[in-house]
Amino acid sequence: MELVTAGRAEALEGRGLNTSYRLAVGGRTFSVKVHCAERSSDAEFRRIRCVDAALRGTAWYPPVGDIGFHAAERPRLVVVRPYAPGEPSDDARRHIAQVVEVLADLAARAGSVTAGEDLVGDYASPWLSGAEGERALVAPLLTGEWRPLARAMDDHLDESRAAASRLTRPDGLVVHHGDLHGRNLIGGGSRPLTVIDWDEAGLSRRPADAGKALWLSCRLGRGDFVLDPRALRRFLTLSHARLGVPYASAGDLARLGALWFLPRHGHVTLLGRRDTGLGPWYLDWVARFWARYRRNTDLIAATAAALGA
């Protein structure tokens, strides 16, 4: 971390809460992830260590080389891994088969995991345990031009929570990446495939990775949320074959994934602290998701019905 603060590392582009760097030392290149102070907790430390123990030896997983907290005042969690060279693809549809195979591997690896309940959770968890509180907190941010986003939340929150509950399995623990899609799959270098960005890794009792991946892998392009019918058909077919997702559950899987696109006050606030332009950018981004939501869910229902016929 001293090398990062001394300006020896290259900051990498990103709009998340955490900051990524590329650092060359002794002829080797490392990825350094510096978590924001507000998310740098002991639980976060233990979640990453737990996932690392479960996934070490997996061909596509970059193992943790070092992990710890930097600075005494408002310490930040720092995670060092091997750097994966290569450029992510702008078309996530090209990597649907790889994403589904990674999902299958994550589910299989959970059998060896022993962890406390404080390490189990995903983006759906806050909405299942405290939806009214989360909705009330974010309400002051959803005024003016963001009122349609507030209406979308009110229209779809209950059905999404119900879907998440139906897909929750008390005995169905899986390793959770948290942001699995084509742009976080890197090809080349010493590994044929590397899955990057493990900031949100942990454990889940529902197919939260698959629900989010449906939306991020099947859209026509970045920055928009018009689903590609062919990509959607491929995703649902492979998810049925490799993950055992019934075609009749495709709608619930999509509704579960939609919970990730609900703005939370804490997330928007922390984005604004990193960069004042990130909060409005994020709200506009998720607003576009919800503006197309009903048409997309109609397509998902029709595609799943045709596949299951």
Which residue, among 94, 224, 212, 113, has the nearest Cα to 172 in the 3D structure? 113
Dihedral (Cα; 30, 75, 202, 116), 10-degree rounding: 140
Report the share of the chain in percent with pLDDT over 90: 77
Instruction: Calculate what percentage of the chain has a pLDDT beyond 70.
Output: 99
Which pLDDT score is estimated for 281? 94
pLDDT at residue 72, rounded to an integer: 72
Residue type, 215: W
Q: Give a three-class secondary structure readout of 230-276.
A: HHHHHHHHHHHHHHCCCHHHHHHHHHHHHHHHCCCHHHHHHHHHHCC
Q: How many CA atoms lie within 13 A of 186 on its CB side?
A: 17
Instruction: Give the helix ranges, DSSP H, for 139-207.
Output: 147-167
Tokens of 130: 């405290």
Residue 159's pLDDT band, with cuts at 50, 70 and 90, is: very high
The model's pTM: 0.94
- Average pLDDT, stretch 120-136? 96
pLDDT reported for residue 187: 82
Name which residue leads in pLDDT, 35 or 183.
35
Whether 218 has a pLDDT exceeding 80, the answer reads: yes
The CA distances from residue 285 to 15, 280, 297, in Å, are 12, 8, 18
